[in-house]
Amino acid sequence: MSTGSLEVDLAVELRDIAKRFPGVQACDRASLQVARGEVHAVVGENGAGKSTLLSILGGLYAPDSGQIFLDGRAVRLRSPRDAADHGIAMVHQHFSLIPKLGVVENVLLGQARPWWLSRRVYAELAERLAQLSAQHGLPVDPRRRVADLSVAEQQRVEILKALYRDARILILDEPTAVLSPAEAEQLRQVLCSLRAAGRTLIYVSHKLDEVFALADRVTVLRQGRSVRMAVPVAETDQGTIAAEILGERSPDTAGAAGHPERSGTALTVDSPPDRPVSPVLRIVDLHASGPLGSEALRGLSLQIAAGEIYGVAGVTGNGQRELCDVLCGLRPLRSGSVEMNGHSVASLSAAQRRKQGLASIPEDRYAQGCAASLSVADNVLLTHSDRPDLAGCCGLLVSPKAIRAFVQRVLSPLQLPESIVAQDPPAGSLSGGTLQKLILARELAHRPTLLLAAYPCRGLDIGAMQTVHRLLFEARDQGCAILVMSEQLDELVALCDRVGALVRGRIVGEVALTWSAATPAAPLCTPPAAMTRLGRLISGLAAQDPKPEAR
């Protein structure tokens, strides 16, 4: 572990923080040293422990072990309020504002004083907020309702809230993830102004270009540990930091040993494909809005051929959910085109798209993928309820016997325990892995031409993951085009024929792992090279790195 200069005046020091959540060691003796009045960036991959570490500083979680020092004194932060009393404020990625209330009410929220809100108090507060926003360049009208504000304005309210409480230490968790480039630039100026006013800023980000434009020093977390601590940005460069973020992944571990056909020697299976090359899915210049009305997809284009697995890599929140919803017909598109098998599907409903051969594995298997209180059989039927072969003798009614046979047929490739088929328990009582296998089997039973799999292995153990991968490979070999989204680069590289990096609603670059005539543009990479390149693309380094590696 290399350590930066220690003689500076430390505002915050986290020492050897460990925090374990069920099944995952989020922080593994991570440390952080932040000097007073600096902008300190914390970078790392998804799941590197950044958010956890800073939530501990924000008083949201108590660490299992380790210490927190503020201005050199050891403190215990039992709650967010405790942290606020110590002058720490956190601006979350998902804002903690109440949409129905006005800006002033939101700023007052959780404040003990004033206990009586007269008109005069409101006027004074609005005045004070106006003053603060003028001082730091945070234009917000204090009289408006939060629900009527744009995302960027809501973020300004969060920052104003922190300033109103006179927070000395501001933690910003991925502040630019929800902002357009122009808004991000505005935010950068605000943060510079705050630094000039002597406040300490801790800035979490995936985007190295932003970090290098703004931060004084940077700490890199990897797998819950601080691998580089408090490096002045002037003394390093983006390439070094990007390498630190990814660590040294050997080709063997990167290539996911579970899949013999895609080990480190992927390039040897480079035979010319005898697969058809007409695209099953063609998306051109797709624009769509996100949940808060902001533009989540900004000109996304991609193509997937039959018998191809296409991966979408990227940090969650860059448009993954919107892309899924638009493809499934659950969200309208603003402009651009989506074609399945050569026909536009923009005007089709979710049910009509399914009839055209679309199947999907939703991101949240409990909220969208199943009805937890209904039985396994009912959940298998979820997307099959109008199959004609389930009808009983009267035509109108369905036959329980036919349903049982159908459910058994769908579940048979999974080799589930007998009891699940026999007792037909509620789907919610299955383990996450079993449920995911069930959903996948259900969707594949449609024999889809296009399968959408959002985070198909999230939270699964190795066994379930391998079954999911096996089923996806089988579907691909039968000619299904598959779109997989995942946060795990190694999983995507092991699974996909091609991977695109989704950043701020666009595919900013692609790598190919197998040769395909459909996509001559994407550079062909070995799995480790693909991981490095994707990691850079995701971190916003695409501009610095135009040449494909390991051709």
Partner 1 sequence: MLPLPRGYRLVFEPVLDRDGSGRWRLLRSLASLGAAFAVAALVLTAAGVDAGLAYRQIFTASFADVPALSDTLVRATPLALCALGSALAFRARLWNIGGEGQLLVGAWAAVGVVLHGLPASTPRPILLIAMLFCAAVASALWAGLCALLRLWLGVSELLSSLMLNYIALLGLRSFVFGPWSEGGFGLTPQLPRSAWLPRLSDLAERVPACRGLTVHLGFVLAVLCVVFFGLVLSRSRFGYRLRVLGANPQAARAAGLPVERDILWALLLSGACAGLAGFCEVSGVVHRLSDRFSTGYGFTALIVAWLAGLQPRWILPAAILFGGLLVGGQELQPGGIPLLLQGVVLMAVLASEALLRSRPRLLRPEAGSSDEPSGASAAATAAQKSDHSEDLP
What is the nearest approach in angstroms of partner 1 to the Cβ of residue 459? 18
343-344 β-sheet, strand order: 295-305, 279-289, 335-340, 343-344
What is the nearest approach in angstroms of partner 1 to the Cβ of residue 72? 12
Interface residue with partner 1 among 290, 369, 448, 527 (CB under 8 A) is 369
Which CB, 328 or 468, lies closer to partner 1? 328
Tokens at residue 471, please?
A: 């089923």
Q: How would you label 340-359 residue by residue, b for 16+ Cβ within 10 Å and e otherwise?
A: bbeeebeebeeeebbeebbb
What is the nearest approach in angstroms of partner 1 to the Cβ of residue 378? 7
Which CB, 28 or 378, lies closer to partner 1? 378
Under rule CB under 8 A, residue 397 binds partner 1: yes
Nearest to 227 by CA among 31, 370, 380: 31
H, E, C per residue of 170-217: EEEECCCCCCCHHHHHHHHHHHHHHHHCCCEEEEEECCHHHHHHHCCE
What is the nearest approach in angstroms of partner 1 to the Cβ of residue 446? 11
Give the DSSP letter of residue 478.
T
Under rule CB under 8 A, residue 243 binds partner 1: no
Interface residue with partner 1 among 10, 305, 370, 453 (CB under 8 A) is 370
User: Which range in 232-240, 279-287, 359-367, 461-469 contacts partner 1 by CB under 8 A?
Assistant: 359-367
Contacts to partner 1 from residues 336-355, by CB under 8 A:
349-351, 353-354
Residue window 62-91: x/- pattern of binding to partner 1, with contact defined by CB under 8 A: x--xxx------x-x---------------
Which CB, 239 or 428, lies closer to partner 1? 428
* Paired sense of beta strands 279-289 and 10-21, if any: unpaired
Burial label for 104, CB within 10 Å (0-12, 13-18, 19+), is buried
Which CB, 180 or 368, lies closer to partner 1? 368
Interface residue with partner 1 among 17, 26, 242, 398 (CB under 8 A) is 398
Whole-angstrom Cα Rg for the chain: 26
What is the nearest approach in angstroms of partner 1 to the Cβ of residue 66? 7
Tokens at residue 63, please?
A: 């660490």
Size of the site for partner 1 (CB under 8 A): 40
Under rule CB under 8 A, residue 292 binds partner 1: no
Under rule CB under 8 A, residue 232 binds partner 1: no
User: Which range in 123-131, 231-239, 247-255, 324-332 contacts partner 1 by CB under 8 A?
Assistant: 324-332
Which CB, 63 or 255, lies closer to partner 1? 63
Under rule CB under 8 A, residue 230 binds partner 1: no
Give the DSSP letter of residue 257.
T
Contacts to partner 1 from residues 137-196, by CB under 8 A:
none
CA 414, CA 417: separation in Å to the nearest integer?
9
How far CA 436 is from CA of 161, 405, 446, in Å, comes to 42, 21, 16
Query: ω before 114 within 30° of 0 (cis)?
Result: yes
User: Could you count the other beta carbons within 10 Å of the beta carbon of residue 300?
Assistant: 27
> Where on the chain is the footprint of partner 1 (CB under 8 A)?
15-16, 62, 65-67, 74, 76, 328-330, 349-351, 353-354, 360, 362, 367-374, 378, 381-383, 385-386, 392, 396-398, 400, 426, 428-429
